[in-house]
Structure 1
Amino acid sequence: MFIVTPIMLFLFLILITDPANALGGIFIYLLIMFARHLYDRYKNRKSNHEKDSGK
């Protein structure tokens, strides 16, 4: 899914705009997905830390 979605998004964006804007849209999408992944890791680490500390 992580590979298919950017490709589909690129094909959609290339139909309505130029290639530079389409690549920019893909770059923004990948940045958001990476930030979401880091936030999920942070939440998991924080919840594990709270479980271990007994809070």
Structure 2
Amino acid sequence: MFKPVSRPIADTPALYGKAAKKFRKETEKNAHKRTSPEEIERIKRNFEKFKAIQQFE
């Protein structure tokens, strides 16, 4: 029988007031940033490494 190895992740609470304004400001400030092609390639290589060693029962 399957036994969970971790606890479920709790729901993320909604933001209100100053916290919501700060989050929105940071989001808008970083909206134009893109990941460089080199970083994307590094991420893909790491993904392939992990995919190669994964094991499922």
Class of the TM-score when normalised by the shorter of the 2 chains: 0.3 to 0.5
Higher helix share: 1
Which structure's CA Rg is the greater one? Answer: 2
